[in-house]
Amino acid sequence: LEVESVPVIFREASDKDVLEMALIENLQREDLNPVEEAQAYTRLAKDFGMTQEEIATRVGKNRATVANAMRLLDLSSEVQKYLVAGHISIGHAKVILGVKLKNEQTVLADQIIKNGMTVRAAEKLISEHLNPDTKKTVNSRNKSQGQLSAALSKVQERLRDRLSTQVQIHQGAKKGKIEIEYYSNEDLQRILELIGAIDAD
């Protein structure tokens, strides 16, 4: 079947529009590494004034995914290289983000890699680094984890992944509690936005 003509839509676009469309198209590829993805999101936000919600809508992802990806640029350049090279996982990177000083991030990442730590072991390392006096508390938390049902353990992991921070569910006989850690006022703001407690800017 020969087609004599096809419908074509012409659209005038400025250089800025073309760059924006190219960035969004690039983000929809599947071969970007996590740092490249974070850089593209950040450029859309800074250069084009797009909110995280707008970026998420344009690339077909949820806002939490975009927000958590952008935070990876808060890692030291060395830790970013480790992530791109596959020496650490996204899970490790999220845990390391709890440390604000970049030189300390690198030192801790080196320990994680050298000792082949799991994400859970890295969480313990970071927690003890941030507050050495919490070792007893961490041990008591570990004991309480054995009391969690499989369903609650799964919920706990999902909350940690979504919020990119330490989350502990403590289950008692009749009641329990959820603890969410934050490491700065900025981190608290981010978490409150993610759970819908406050509106995003």
Q: Give the model confidence (pLDDT) of 144-183 as tens digits.
A: 445 678 888 889 888 988 888 888 888 887 888 999 988 7
The whole-number average pLDDT for the span 185-191 is: 83
Alpha helices for 28-62 (secondary structure H): 34-48, 52-59
| Domains of the chain with CATH codes | 14-74 (1.10.10.2830)
CA distance 90 to 128: 20
Q: Which of 109, 97, 91 is CA-nearest to residue 158? A: 91
Residues 13/25, Cβ–Cβ less than 8 Å = no
Taking only the tens place, the pLDDT of each residue in 77-112 is 999 999 999 999 999 999 999 898 999 999 999 999
pTM assigned to the model:
0.63
- Strand-pairing partners, residue 171, are 176
Provide φ and ψ at 13, rounded to 5°: -140, 135
Q: Is the pLDDT of residue 32 over 90?
A: no
